[in-house]
């Protein structure tokens, strides 16, 4: 069964397929993993010849669907995989490892997919002692700043609180060699108070611009 979003993607790719320097394309993200919602776009990577010196990223609406596309020479993906490893992220590699190849003229896309699948199992490098001490200082400094905001009853408390919390999760992930994920996906990994197990969802708190009295 061909979904309407697939037809929209095919229409979009028609303009790219005829270009000699375009080697292939991979669609990835929520449309492929089965987690798409009505807010989801269509993510597609367009792989080009390594002789190409430019890159392109853009958005286009086709038949009511928002398509986010990235066009890169094949060699750039090896660089993106390496950069992701340094940042404790496999997001780009996972796009290709889990994605669906739409077309591949000469095997270039298959090669990029193999690079991705080879990259994903590799462990992340743990931070050295100096990096760890710097991270501890930054977390302490964030806590100090939050305490100051509470004392002043600043309306910026919640904004700073969630930024600090995101930083703590990222630093802890680096410490244990885990991947840093998007904040929007945090609810699927945090355990609940009742069961101690991840639920896949988290209740959004009712927030006020003013810190509550219990923080004072």
> Domain 4-119 maps to which CATH number in 3.90.1150.10, 3.30.460.10, 3.40.50.11270, 3.40.50.300?
3.30.460.10
Sign of CA dihedral 206, 209, 210, 216: positive
* Edge-to-edge strand list for the sheet holding 65-73: 56-62, 65-73, 42-48, 22-28, 100-104
- pLDDT at position 73 is 98
Start-to-end CA span in the chain (Å): 58
The Cα–Cα gap between 116 and 216 comes to 49
Residues 6+ apart with CB under 8 A from 62: 8, 9, 11, 12
- pLDDT at position 64 is 94
The Cα–Cα gap between 142 and 136 comes to 10
Is the pTM higher than 0.85? The answer reads no
HEC letters along the chain: CCCHHHHHHHHHHHHHHCCCCEEEEEEECHHHHCCCCCCCCEEEEEEECCCCCCCEEEEEEECCEEEEEEEEEHHHHHHHHHHHHHCCCCHHHHHHHHCEEEEECCCHHHHHHHHHHHHCCCCCCCCCHHHHHHHHHHHHHHHHHHHHHHHCCCCCHHHHHHHHHHHHHHHHHHHHCCCCCCHHHHHHCCECCCCCCECCCCCCCCCCCCCCHHHC
Under 8 Å between Cβ of 109 and 45: no
Nearest to 111 by CA among 6, 26, 215: 26
Question: How many CA atoms are closer than 13 Å to the CA of 66, on its beta-carbon side?
Answer: 9
Domain boundaries, the chain: 4-119, 129-215
Share the mean pLDDT of the chain.
86
- pLDDT at position 200 is 43
| Tens digit of each residue's pLDDT (9 = 90 or more) over 73-108 | 999 999 999 999 988 999 999 999 999 999 999 999
The four Cα atoms 98, 99, 105, 107 give a dihedral, to 10 degrees, of -10
The Cα–Cα gap between 196 and 5 comes to 38
- pLDDT at position 42 is 97
- pLDDT at position 130 is 94
Per-residue pLDDT in tens (0 to 9) along the chain, 216 residues:
567 999 999 999 999 999 999 999 999 999 999 999 989 999 999 999 999 999 999 999 999 999 999 999 999 999 999 999 988 999 999 999 999 999 999 999 999 999 999 999 999 988 899 998 999 999 999 999 999 999 999 999 999 999 999 989 888 888 888 887 666 555 555 555 555 554 444 343 333 334 344 443
């Amino acid at each position: 069964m061909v979904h309407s979003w697939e037809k929209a993607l095919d229409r979009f790719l028609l303009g790219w397929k005829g270009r000699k320097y375009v080697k292939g394309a991979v669609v990835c993200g929520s449309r492929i993993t089965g987690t798409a919602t009505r807010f989801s776009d269509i993510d597609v990577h367009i792989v080009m010849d390594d002789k190409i010196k430019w890159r392109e990223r853009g958005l286009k609406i086709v038949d009511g669907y928002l398509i986010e596309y990235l066009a890169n020479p094949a060699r750039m993906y090896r660089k993106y995989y390496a950069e992701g490893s340094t940042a404790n992220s496999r997001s780009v590699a996972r796009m290709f490892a889990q994605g669906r190849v739409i077309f591949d003229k000469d095997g270039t896309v298959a090669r990029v997919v193999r690079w991705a699948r080879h990259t994903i199992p590799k462990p992340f490098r743990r931070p050295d002692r100096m990096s760890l001490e710097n991270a501890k200082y930054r977390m302490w400094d964030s806590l100090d700043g939050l305490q100051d905001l509470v004392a002043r009853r600043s309306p910026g408390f919640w904004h700073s609180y969630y930024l600090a919390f995101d930083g703590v999760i990222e630093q802890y992930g680096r410490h244990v060699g885990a991947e840093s994920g998007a904040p929007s996906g945090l609810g699927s990994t945090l355990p609940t108070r009742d069961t101690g197990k991840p639920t896949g969802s988290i209740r959004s708190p009712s927030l006020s611009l003013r810190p509550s009295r219990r923080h004072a």
